[in-house]
């Protein structure tokens, strides 16, 4: 069993954050595959996955290039191995929701107030300044996970499929919602787990027009499945 990380990035000139991320993963024994200037996150992930031709038991990390992993290096891979060895596990990641309603916004504030969310992510540029820990809720099984960091066995990715589905138009949005919702529909359990992530952002989401368009298309596609639950 091998562990790979697929990371889409815009340029070969890596930012300090991306360099820190790839160095951390390499020290942990993860084989890092940088996907440079892909036209789509779907095609980037799919092409890199197929080029590796993995064993079904291999582990894949799909993550942003603007994160740092803060978990102790000796703890990181054992956590992934343990969590992904649980039968019928689909995706694991640091944050998500136990219930996606027909608004299809996983971090929905009303759902948050009802205690539906799970996990934690740090937001900020670096640990020494203006870092905001966002506590979503207790770690547990969830319906949907955020795409800043996802991990799954290769056999799950083969079953779910990494290619962009026909119903979506935008190339970079709602991939995480599609992947994890599809896994739930196929009977897998997704789970928020204590992987400590610093996301090099303020946590502001849902800005692009393509995000809103893909959200509308996702709602139409999964209309009969709401609410999607853990």
Summarize the confidence of residues 193-210 as an average pLDDT.
81
pLDDT at 201: 76
Q: What is the pTM of this model?
A: 0.96
As a whole number of angstroms, the distance between CA 21 and CA 25 comes to: 6
As a whole number of angstroms, the distance between CA 187 and CA 7 comes to: 27
Q: Which two tokens stand for residue 103?
A: 């608004």
CB 111 within 8 A of CB 97: yes
Predicted confidence band of residue 188 (pLDDT cuts 50, 70, 90): very high
pLDDT tens-digit series, residues 12-70: 899 999 999 999 999 999 999 999 999 999 999 999 999 999 999 999 999 999 999 99
CB 142 within 8 A of CB 98: yes
Residue 6's DSSP bridge partners are: 33, 62
Position 2 pLDDT exceeds 90: yes
pLDDT tens-digit series, residues 67-97: 999 999 999 999 999 999 999 999 999 999 9
pLDDT at 206: 58
Position 103 pLDDT exceeds 90: yes
pLDDT at 33: 98
Strands (DSSP E) found in the chain: 3-9, 31-36, 59-63, 67-69, 89-93, 95-97, 99-100, 117-123, 132-137, 141-142, 144-145, 149-153, 189-192, 197-199, 228-229
Give the chain's domains with CATH numbers.
3-229 (3.90.550.10)
CB 120 within 8 A of CB 133: yes
Q: Which two tokens stand for residue 189?
A: 């359990």
Predicted confidence band of residue 202 (pLDDT cuts 50, 70, 90): low
pLDDT tens-digit series, residues 128-179: 667 889 999 999 999 999 999 999 999 999 999 999 999 999 999 999 999 9
**Strand, coil or helix: what is 219?**
helix
């Amino acid at each position: 069993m091998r562990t790979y990380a697929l990371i889409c990035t815009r340029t070969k000139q890596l930012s300090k954050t991306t360099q820190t991320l790839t160095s951390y993963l390499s020290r942990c024994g993860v084989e890092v595959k940088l996907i440079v200037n892909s036209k789509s996150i779907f095609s980037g992930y799919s092409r890199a996955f197929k080029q590796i031709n993995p064993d079904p038991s291999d582990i894949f990390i799909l993550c942003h290039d603007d994160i740092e992993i803060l978990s102790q290096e000796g703890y990181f891979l054992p956590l992934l191995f343990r969590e992904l060895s649980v039968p019928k596990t689909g995706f694991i990641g640091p944050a998500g929701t136990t219930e996606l309603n027909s608004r299809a916004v996983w971090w929905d504030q009303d759902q948050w107030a009802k205690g539906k969310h799970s996990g934690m992510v740090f937001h900020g540029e670096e640990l020494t300044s203006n870092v905001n820990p966002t506590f979503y809720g207790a770690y547990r099984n969830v319906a949907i996970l955020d795409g800043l960091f996802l991990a799954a066995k290769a056999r799950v990715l083969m079953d779910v499929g990494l290619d962009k589905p026909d119903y979506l138009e935008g190339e970079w949005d709602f991939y995480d919602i599609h992947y994890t919702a599809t896994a739930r529909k196929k009977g897998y359990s997704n789970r928020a787990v204590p992987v400590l992530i610093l996301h090099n952002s303020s946590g502001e989401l849902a800005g692009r027009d393509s995000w809103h368009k893909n959200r509308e298309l996702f709602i139409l596609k999964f209309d009969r499945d709401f609410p999607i639950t853990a």
